[in-house]
């Protein structure tokens, strides 16, 4: 499969037909339903040309009829409506440190089914991929879906992914996997050349969930992902994901905040941001400080089972130890986000995962710390908390990644 450059197509008269088809299909990515007249107005080409393109996509099974529009007050013939097919399918395959999550969905981003396996802890990557492929087969068989109707699979996990080669360079949460892992090789071999395989870091997949939002085309955004002890950011500049030569842009969890720290991170460094605010670090601090907070219900509980969300719940309820931990985490985030803004200066920062549950005390401490930096104005960036599950975010992001790649592939238009 080869990506088509729309800007090049627009400069060659012989490719005008392909260019028109690309513009029309791009419109359908919104998931909306359109009449020929709607498309002609939006794209700026004749109804006759639109109808020819629509017929082409109908024949390929990409677009289907969605019935007739409601009658207008003027009467007359009701327009036929078109939308993306519900019979073309995509799969999101998320490999977490503690589970495997798979979702099956269609070109309309409607989830058909999903699957969770929690028996992958400490398993070799080859075994995990075998389990994943078998689960994908079961989902397809359960819903009587032919593999010929499966168009794409997004494989995502933590670590440094190489989308061009579909290989995992290294994952600090799975160090035993080694380096330069062909993480999607078995998936590609199993489903064949006609199924597009896309690998990507989980934080970028979650960040892609925001790209369909019209605001994304006008903002610099950083979606800060926090889960399983890791932290990363998907950096987006007006709808474009930034990766860098070695796909390191956004690996903010490995930003050094305290080089004298005794803990060695999975990346090999000391003082990494993600280790400073991990659940393990917070539990250690809670145990260290518990005696100084005799009135704390949190201190009297099982601190070895403390979660980040539990810390924020305690802080929100006024627990003194909970508030101290929340403030500590906020100061660490303030240092990391100050560094991030010096490099990227985002308009909006979105928290996902564990730290999306941060309480008001965390927010207040965070911005108080940030405002000590005199180069900021009163609000260095807008901060939003997205508490949707990582499974939901990766499914939405995988849909965006796969549809974008499929709809930029020249074989889709010829």
Q: What is the pLDDT of residues 249-300, one digit of tens each?
A: 999 999 999 999 999 998 899 999 999 999 999 999 999 999 999 999 999 9
CB 31 within 8 A of CB 108: yes
Q: What H or E segment, with its residue span, contains residue 275?
A: helix 273-276
Q: Any alpha helices (H) in 157-261, and if so which ranges?
A: 185-191, 202-207
Both tokens of 261, joined, read 């720290």
Phi, psi of 213 (to 5 degrees): -65, 130
Alpha carbons 359 and 288: distance in angstroms, whole number: 22
Both tokens of 173, joined, read 């949460």
State the pLDDT at residue 8. 46
Alpha carbons 298 and 311: distance in angstroms, whole number: 8
State the pLDDT at residue 3. 53
pLDDT tens for residues 309-363? 999 999 999 999 999 999 999 999 999 999 999 999 999 999 999 999 999 999 9
Residue with tokens 């085309």: 217
Alpha carbons 15 and 280: distance in angstroms, whole number: 58
Share of the chain above pLDDT 70, in %: 95
Phi, psi of 104 (to 5 degrees): -110, 125
Residue with tokens 């992914």: 161
CB 86 within 8 A of CB 108: yes
CATH class label, 213-388: alpha beta
Share of the chain above pLDDT 90, in %: 76
Beta bridge pairs of residue 230: 227
State the pLDDT at residue 75. 56
Residue with tokens 């002890």: 229
Alpha carbons 144 and 137: distance in angstroms, whole number: 10
Alpha carbons 34 and 329: distance in angstroms, whole number: 48
CB 173 within 8 A of CB 266: yes
Alpha carbons 207 and 229: distance in angstroms, whole number: 18
- Which residues lie below 8 Å from residue 30, measured CB to CB, with a gap of 6+? 212
CA proximity to 63, closest of 95, 90, 34: 34
CB 255 within 8 A of CB 336: yes
pLDDT tens for residues 306-323? 999 999 999 999 999 999
**Phi and psi based region of residue 385 (left: phi greater than 0; alpha: psi -120 to 50; beta: remaining):** beta
Alpha carbons 116 and 371: distance in angstroms, whole number: 43
CATH class label, 89-207+392-413: alpha beta
State the pLDDT at residue 9. 46
CB 362 within 8 A of CB 354: no
Which 3 state secondary structure label does DSSP give 169?
strand
Which pTM does this prediction carry?
0.90
State the pLDDT at residue 5. 53
Q: Got the DSSP string for 288-330?
A: HHGGG-TT-TTTTS-GGG--HHHHHHHHHTT-HHHHHHHHHHH
pLDDT at 128 over 80: yes
CATH class label, 6-84: mainly alpha
Sequence ranges of the domains in the chain:
6-84, 89-207+392-413, 213-388
Q: What is the mean pLDDT of residues 197-220?
A: 93
Alpha carbons 345 and 396: distance in angstroms, whole number: 26
pLDDT at 161 over 50: yes
Topology agreement, domain 6-84 and domain 89-207+392-413: no
- Which residues lie below 8 Å from residue 90, measured CB to CB, with a gap of 6+? 104, 105, 106, 107, 150, 151, 152, 153, 154, 398, 399, 402, 403
Count of helix runs (H) and strand runs (E) in the chain: 13, 15
- Which residues lie below 8 Å from residue 223, measured CB to CB, with a gap of 6+? 203, 206, 207, 209, 210, 233, 234, 236, 349, 350, 352, 386
Alpha carbons 381 and 392: distance in angstroms, whole number: 25
Beta bridge pairs of residue 93: 102, 155
């Amino acid at each position: 499969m080869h990506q088509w450059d729309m800007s090049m197509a627009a400069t060659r008269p012989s490719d005008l037909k392909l260019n028109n088809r690309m513009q029309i299909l791009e419109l359908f990515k919104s998931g909306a339903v359109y009449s020929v007249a709607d498309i002609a107005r939006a794209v700026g080409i004749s109804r006759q040309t639109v109808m020819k393109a629509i017929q082409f996509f109908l024949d390929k099974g990409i677009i289907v009829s969605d019935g007739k529009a409601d009658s207008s007050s003027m009467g007359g013939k009701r327009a036929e409506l078109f939308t993306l097919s519900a019979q073309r399918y995509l799969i999101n395959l998320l490999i977490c440190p503690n589970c495997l999550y798979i979702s099956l969905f269609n070109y309309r981003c409607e989830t058909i089914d999903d699957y969770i396996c929690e028996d992958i802890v400490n398993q070799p990557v080859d075994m995990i991929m075998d389990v994943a492929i078998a689960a994908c087969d079961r989902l397809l068989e359960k819903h009587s879906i032919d593999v010929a109707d499966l168009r794409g699979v997004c494989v995502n996990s933590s670590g440094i992914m190489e989308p061009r080669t579909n290989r995992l360079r290294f994952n600090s949460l799975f160090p035993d996997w080694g380096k330069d892992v062909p993480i999607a090789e078995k998936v590609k071999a199993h489903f064949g050349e006609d199924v597009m395989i896309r690998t990507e870091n989980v934080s970028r997949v979650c960040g892609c969930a925001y790209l369909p939002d019209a605001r994304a085309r006008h903002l610099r955004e950083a979606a800060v992902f926090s889960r399983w002890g890791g932290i990363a950011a998907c950096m987006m500049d007006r709808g474009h994901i930034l990766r860098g030569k070695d796909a390191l842009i956004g690996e903010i969890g490995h930003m050094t905040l305290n080089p004298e720290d005794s803990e060695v991170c999975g990346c090999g460094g000391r003082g990494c941001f993600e280790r400073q605010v991990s659940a393990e670090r917070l539990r250690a601090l809670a145990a260290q400080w518990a005696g100084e907070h005799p009135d704390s219900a949190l201190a009297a509980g099982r601190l070895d089972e403390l979660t980040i969300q539990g810390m924020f719940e305690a802080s929100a309820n006024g627990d003194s130890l909970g508030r101290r931990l929340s403030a500590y985490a906020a100061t660490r985030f303030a240092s990391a986000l100050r560094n991030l803004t010096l490099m990227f200066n985002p308009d909006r920062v979105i928290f996902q995962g564990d730290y999306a549950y941060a309480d008001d005390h965390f927010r207040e401490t965070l911005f108080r710390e940030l405002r000590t930096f005199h180069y900021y104005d009163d609000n260095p960036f807008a901060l939003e908390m997205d508490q949707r599950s990582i499974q939901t975010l990766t499914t939405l992001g995988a849909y965006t990644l796969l549809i974008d790649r499929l709809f930029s592939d020249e074989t889709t238009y010829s």
